[in-house]
């Protein structure tokens, strides 16, 4: 079933240096439960695509429909509400709030969207932390954790409202290879549970192990290969 569909999506930025087209007429369809790696050189438009899919940015042209919601036409406020429930975003630099403890970081999206009764939020957050194996750090501040641990917390936070889609912008870009491997395994588990994961990466090795690899160059999709024959070895 098609979960994400973009139709002729373009994004142009204006700056003092003139106009810059980051994406140009991108058409993309994503089914539920796919694990997709988006690859390409710096400045090719990978992150822009992810921002558009997350409703963080609006396309200059074209349409984006996710689970029947035309997110390109949502106001900023509605996009935030929608994103809070439907999308989990993971960043390269983790972007945890430094003054909240690990568990509080995970509970924050629940608070914003009121997805669970107040009393259930903490146990749910703890469950997520256990799942990403950082429950022992629940009451620490992010600065006390290693990069890999912080990224696990970021994943737990992305899952806080149980969104069907996870968008990750170079989630392993700041991690060593072993930690990167662990994070990737987590993504595969999420996909097995039926979640869709779209991951921008520079890591060719990881990208090749995704179900589908989309290659972007100069704002356009130049490659879209499926690897249905890949066998995962846990």
Partner 1 sequence: MHTRWYKAFRDLMLNKPRTLLVIISIALGVFGFGTIVNSYSILIREMDKNYMDTNPASFVLHTESVNESATKLISSMPEIKDAEPRKTVIGRLQTGRDEWLPIWLFVIEDFNNTRVDVFEPEKGLDSPAIGEIVIERAALPVANTEIGRNVSVKIPAREAKELKVVGSVHAPGLPPAWMENITYGFISRETLEVLGDTAGFNELRAVVSENRFDREYIRSTAVKVKQFYETNGLSVDRIEIPEPGKHPHSDQMSALLFLLQAFGLLALVLSGVLVINMISAMMASQIRQIGIMKTLGATRGQIIGFYYGIVLFLGTVALFIAMPLSAWTAKTYARFAADMLNFDIASYRIQFWTYLIQIAVGLLVPVLAASYPIFKGSRVTIRESLGDYGVNQTKINSSIFDKVIEKPYGFGRPLLLSLRNTFRRKGRLLLTLGTLTLGGAIFIVAINVGASIDNTIENSFKSKRYSIELKLSRPYPITEIERSIQNIPGVSGVECWGGAMGAVVRPDGGEGGYFSIKAPPPNTELVNLPIIRGRWLQPDDQNSIVINHTLLEEEPGLKVGDEVAVSTGQSNIPLRVVGIAREIGSKPTAYMNYAFYAAVFRQDGYASHVFVATSGDSGATYSSVSSRLEQAFRDAGLDLLDNTDILTTRKIFEDHMKLIAVFLVLIALLTVIIGGLGLMSTMSINVMERIREIGIMRSIGATDRDILRLVMVEGIFIGLISWLLSSLLSIPLTAVIGNEFGNIFLHTPLNIVITPWGILIWLVGIILATAIASFFPARNASRMALPQVLAYE
H or E element that contains 154: helix 147-158
* Closer residue to partner 1, CB minimum distance, 98 or 194: 98
Binding residues with partner 1: total (CB under 8 A):
33
Contact at 8 Å (CB) between 153 and 184?
A: no
* Closer residue to partner 1, CB minimum distance, 69 or 108: 108
**Measured between alpha carbons, how far is residue 26 from residues 10, 33, 48, 57 in Å?**
6, 21, 11, 15
Least spacing, CB of residue 84 vs partner 1, in Å: 2
Which residue, 43, 4, 54, is CA-closest to 20? 43
Least spacing, CB of residue 88 vs partner 1, in Å: 9
Span 135-194, contacts to partner 1 by CB under 8 A: 157, 160-161
- Interface mask toward partner 1 for 19-58; x: CB under 8 A: --------------------------------x--x-xx-
Contact at 8 Å (CB) between 214 and 28?
A: yes
Residue 6 in the binding site for partner 1 (CB under 8 A): no
Q: In what order do the strands lie in the sheet with 61-66?
A: 18-31, 2-15, 61-66, 69-70
Residues sharing a CB contact under 8 Å with residue 220, sequence separation 6 or more, in sequence order: 23, 24, 25, 26, 45
Rama region for 147: left / alpha / beta (φ>0; ψ in -120 to 50; rest) = alpha
* Closer residue to partner 1, CB minimum distance, 83 or 209: 83
H or E element that contains 131: helix 118-131
Least spacing, CB of residue 99 vs partner 1, in Å: 4
* Closer residue to partner 1, CB minimum distance, 35 or 159: 159
* Closer residue to partner 1, CB minimum distance, 173 or 224: 173
- Interface mask toward partner 1 for 69-108; x: CB under 8 A: -------xx--xx-xxx---x-x-x-xxxxxxx--x--xx
Least spacing, CB of residue 69 vs partner 1, in Å: 14
Residues sharing a CB contact under 8 Å with residue 53, sequence separation 6 or more, in sequence order: 4, 6, 64, 66, 71, 87, 165, 167, 198
* Closer residue to partner 1, CB minimum distance, 50 or 207: 50
In the complex, the residues that contact partner 1 under the rule CB under 8 A are 16, 51, 54, 56-57, 76-77, 80-81, 83-85, 89, 91, 93, 95-101, 104, 107-113, 157, 160-161
């Amino acid at each position: 079933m098609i979960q994400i569909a973009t139709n002729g999506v373009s994004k142009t930025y204006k700056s003092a240096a003139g106009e810059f087209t980051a994406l140009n007429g991108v058409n993309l369809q994503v089914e539920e439960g796919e694990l997709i790696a988006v690859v390409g050189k710096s400045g090719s438009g990978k992150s822009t695509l992810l921002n558009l899919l997350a409703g963080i940015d609006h396309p200059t042209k074209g349409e984006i429909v996710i689970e029947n919601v035309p997110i390109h036409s949502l106001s900023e406020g509605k996009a935030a509400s929608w994103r809070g429930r439907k999308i989990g975003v993971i960043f390269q630099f983790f972007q945890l709030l430094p003054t909240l403890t690990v568990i509080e970081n995970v509970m924050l999206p629940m608070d914003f969207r009121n997805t669970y009764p107040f009393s259930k939020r903490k146990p749910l957050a703890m469950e997520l932390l256990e799942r990403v194996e950082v429950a022992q750090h629940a009451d620490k501040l992010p600065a006390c954790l290693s990069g890999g641990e912080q990224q696990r917390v970021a994943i737990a936070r992305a899952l806080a409202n149980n969104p069907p889609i996870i968008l990750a912008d170079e989630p392993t870009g700041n991690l060593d290879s072993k930690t990167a491997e662990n994070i990737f395994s987590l993504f595969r588990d999420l996909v097995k549970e039926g979640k869709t994961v779209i991951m921008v990466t520079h890591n060719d090795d990881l990208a090749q192990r995704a179900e589908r690899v989309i290659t972007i160059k100069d704002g356009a999709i130049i490659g879209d290969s499926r690897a249905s024959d890949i066998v995962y070895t846990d």
